[in-house]
Amino acid sequence: GGKGANQAVAAARLAGASQPVQFVCQLGNDGHAAMLEAALVGDGVDLSGAGRVDSPSGQGLVFLQPDGALSSVVVAGSNAMWPAQATAQMPGLESRVRGAAAVMLQREVPEHVNAAVAAAAASAGVPVLQDVGGEDRPIASELLPLLGYLLPNETELARLSGMPTGTEAEVLGAARALQARGARAVLVTLGADGALLLTEDGDILRQPPCAVPGGAVVDETGAGDSFRAAFCVALVEGRPLPEALALAAAAGAIAVSRLGAIPSLPRRAEADALASDLATLDAAADATPDATADATKEGPKKGWSLFGQPDVAAVPVDAAAVPDMGAAQWSLFNHGPRAAALRLELEEEASTGGTVARA
C-alpha cells in the first residue's frame, strides 16, 4: 500500500462519509495497480485525481520480526514517476489542494511534488501535515514554514535535526532546532512512549502510550500512518489538540494489534472507544489529590496514590536500587500531566537517595 495509501484508507475509515478523502498518486501499469485501486475504492477513497504511468507499481516489502518490529525495503516504481511540474501538469490537482480541509504529505514521492502541493495549500490557508517517513533525505528549509505540522518519529527527528533523541529533553531540543529552521508545530511519535507535540507557540503536549488491544504487539506496519491519519481527521473535525492526540494514540495502538498494513487500520467506533478509555484513565489520574507534598518528605506520611488508595507511605530508597525497580512499579505514574509531574519529582528524589512513594 505505501504510506500515502495507508493514510488515505485510515483517514477514510475514521472520517466516514462526513469528510470525503481524496488520494492523489501515480498508479502503475500492472496487476498490483488494479489490486491497490480496488482496495482504495472499496474503502471509500476518491481516486479521481490519480495519475497513471507506464511503470510497475511502487512496492514495499516488509520484514516482520516475532515481536512485531519490522524493517522494510521500498521500490519506488510508479511513485517516482511524477511530472516535473506536478500542480501544473496534473489537471485539477491545484484546485483539489486549495479546496481541501487538510492535506497530508509523505516522502515516498519526489520532494518537488511535496513542495508544489505545500505551496498551493499554504497560499489557500489549507493546513499541511508532513509525514517525514519515506526516502531518507534532508528536508528543505524553504518547505518547513509551509507545513502546519511536521510529523517525524524519534529516529527520523534525529536524522532531520542531526541531534540525539534518546531522552525527552533531547527530543524537545531537536524539535526546537527544526522550529529554528522554520518548522511550525512538530509532533513526534515515540513508539511505546507515546507522542510529544511541540506547538507553534512553544507549548508542550505529551500523549501517554495507549494500551494495545489484546495486550500484544503483533505487527507495527501502518501504526504511524494510522496515528497521523487520525490526528489529521480530528483536526479537520475541530477537536482540541489533546483529543486529537488521544484519538491518534488509540488508532496507532489498534493498528499494531493486527497483522498487515491496510487490513490493520481501525474503524472510527473502535478508535473512539479506545480513546475514551484512555481519556478516562487520564481524568482519573488528574482528579486525584496531589501526593507530591507528602510523598517526597522523609518519614511515613498519609497521602493518596494515583488510584485513590489511602495510606501511601514515603520510605527511604537507596538510589542504587531504583534501576532495579520493575517497569510495572513505575507504570502507576504513566497517565496524565499530574502523574507525569509526580513521577519526575519522585525520580529526582530517588536519584539523590531521597524518598519515594509506594502504594
Q: Classify each residue of 87-106 as buried b or exposed e, where b means 16 or more C-beta atoms within 10 Å of its C-beta.
A: beebeebbebbeebebbbbb
Residue 341, all three cell numbers: 509531574
193 is catalytic: no
Other C-beta atoms within 10 Å of 35: how many? 12
DSSP line for 160-174: HHTS--SSHHHHHHH
Give kind and range of the element (H or E) at residue 248.
Answer: helix 241-256
Under DSSP, the state recorded for 312 is: P
Tell me if 9 sits within 8 A of 266, measured CB to CB. no
Distance CA(321)–CA(8), nearest Å, equals: 48
Put the strands of the sheet holding 204-207 in their side by side order: 103-107, 128-134, 149-151, 185-189, 195-198, 204-207
Write the single-letter amino acid at 6.
N
For residue 33 the three cell numbers come to 495497480
Among residues 225, 294, 318, 324, which one is catalytic?
225
Residue with cell 480496488: 38
DSSP secondary structure letter of residue 192: G
Residues forming the active site: 225
